[in-house]
């Protein structure tokens, strides 16, 4: 199916869903859209992303690329951790950070810890014989007083015996919203990094994307990285240069659909892993595929 006929075939569904948007909770919307995203992924998008990633890697043999922002059923995503890891590996990504939400009274830290336990299990019991296992980092997306901040932690914290330490350090996130500056500091003892998610994007009901003036004044030198390109939020900027942070490209995928369309890359000759590349401010945001830009514009009316 080509891009034009595909978009035409699903436009009717998108507009119907948009028309019905107001009274439907997010979980119901996700269920409603799941069959559509399954078709989109299989019939249209996967081959395009796979091809884009293969070209990128053959042109840059030392480049490691991956997804740093997506959600599974442990928060508000529609797909299991296993399905997300399997598809990401098939697309050719080298690493992935699944970032469940952590928010007082809405998304408890316990769900994130269960998600990390599941990521660890999937890696240990990798059962996809034709696929190289993908590199997994523990991480999550915290709702702070100024907006969403992603924390990515050393891979040692995938080990179930170390999860108790995460619970002790981060249980505060269940009780109250804290300033983004304080949240960024809390990841440092875990060898981790912090990433500003979808800056300048706003929601009327709650803090979502921190403003650039606030980040410039309060977060430079403290937060490590910022999302310069996002497929899910449809923008392409260069905030990182202005703020002296590492540049991140990601999808904020909730449907196991657009993972891999925008990625973060680093040179594996210079850095042993993603965290060291982010700390050195030597990452790149890279757009791999923009086939779904038109559709995502429509989907945002629904979500
Ligand atoms: Zn977010
Ligand atoms: Zn997110």
Q: What are the chain's domains?
A: 63-289 (3.20.20.140)
CA-to-CA distance for 94 and 218, rounded, in angstroms?
A: 33
Per the CB < 8 A criterion, the answer to whether 281 and 223 are in contact is: no
Token look-up 């994007």 returns: 201
Query: Does residue 222 have a pLDDT over 50?
Result: yes
Classify residue 41 by its DSSP letter: I
Q: What is the pTM of this model?
A: 0.88
Q: Are 116 and 138 in contact (CB under 8 A)?
A: yes
Checking if the pLDDT of 125 tops 90, the result is yes
pLDDT of residue 16: 38
Compute, in angstroms, the gap from residue 135 CA to the centroid of ligand 2.
Answer: 20
Look over the chain and give the mean of its residue pLDDT values, rounded to a whole number. Answer: 89
Q: What is the mean pLDDT of residues 186-204?
A: 96
Dist. CA 197 → ligand 1 center (Å): 6
Q: How far is CA 138 from the centre of its chain?
A: 12
Distance 62 CA to ligand 1 centre (A): 30
Mean pLDDT of 141-169: 97
Taken in order 271, 277, 282, 286, is the CA torsion positive or negative? positive
10 has pLDDT over 50: no
For residue 41, what pLDDT band results from cuts at 50, 70 and 90?
low
Ligand 2 midpoint to CA 71 (Å):
6
- Give me ligand 1 centre to Cα 146, in Å: 12
Distance between Cα 70 and ligand 2 center (Å): 6
For ligand 1, the distance from its centroid to the CA atom of residue 207, given in whole angstroms, is 10
Average pLDDT over residues 167-180: 97
Return the pLDDT at 21: 42
Question: How far is residue 285 from each of residues 23, 25, 176, 217, 262, measured CA to CA in Å?
Answer: 36, 32, 32, 23, 7
CA of 252 to the centre of ligand 1 (A): 7
CA of 71, nearest ligand number: 2
pLDDT at 70: 98
Q: Kindly identify the ligand whose nearest atom is closest to the C-alpha of 77.
A: 2
Find the 101 Cα to ligand 2 centroid distance in Å. 7
Cα atoms found within 13 Å of the Cα of residue 208, Cβ hemisphere only:
10
End-to-end CA distance of the chain: 26
Per-residue pLDDT band for 296 (boundaries 50, 70, 90) equals: confident
Band of pLDDT at residue 293, cut at 50, 70 and 90: confident
Task: Tell me the ligand closest to 210's alpha carbon.
Answer: 1
């Amino acid at each position: 199916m080509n891009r034009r006929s595909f978009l035409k075939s699903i436009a009717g569904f998108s507009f119907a869903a948009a028309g019905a948007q107001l009274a439907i909770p997010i979980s119901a919307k996700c269920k409603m859209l799941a069959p559509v995203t399954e078709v989109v992924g299989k019939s249209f998008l996967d081959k395009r992303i796979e091809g884009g990633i293969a070209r990128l890697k053959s042109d840059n043999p030392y480049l490691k690329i991956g997804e740093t922002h997506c959600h599974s059923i442990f928060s508000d995503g529609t797909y299991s951790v296993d399905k997300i890891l399997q598809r990401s590996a098939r697309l050719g990504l080298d690493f992935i950070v699944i970032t469940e939400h952590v928010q007082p009274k809405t998304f408890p830290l316990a769900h994130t810890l269960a998600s990390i336990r599941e990521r660890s299990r999937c890696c240990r019991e990798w059962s996809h014989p034709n696929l190289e296992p993908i590199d997994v980092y523990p991480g999550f997306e915290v709702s702070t007083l100024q907006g969403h901040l992603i924390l990515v932690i050393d891979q040692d914290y995938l080990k179930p015996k170390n999860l108790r330490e995460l619970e002790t350090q981060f249980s505060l996130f269940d009780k109250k919203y804290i300033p983004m500056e304080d949240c960024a500091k809390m990841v440092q003892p875990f060898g981790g990094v912090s990433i500003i998610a979808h800056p300048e994007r706003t929601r009327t009901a709650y803090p979502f994307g921190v403003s650039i003036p606030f980040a410039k004044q309060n977060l430079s030198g403290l937060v490590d990285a910022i999302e310069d390109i996002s497929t899910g939020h449809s923008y392409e900027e260069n905030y990182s240069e202005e703020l002296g942070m590492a540049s991140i490209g990601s999808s904020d995928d909730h449907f196991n659909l657009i993972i891999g369309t925008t990625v973060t890359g680093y040179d594996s000759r210079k850095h042993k892993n993603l965290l060291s590349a982010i700390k050195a401010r030597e990452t790149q945001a890279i757009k791999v595929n923009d086939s779904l830009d038109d559709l995502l514009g429509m989907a945002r009316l629904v979500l």
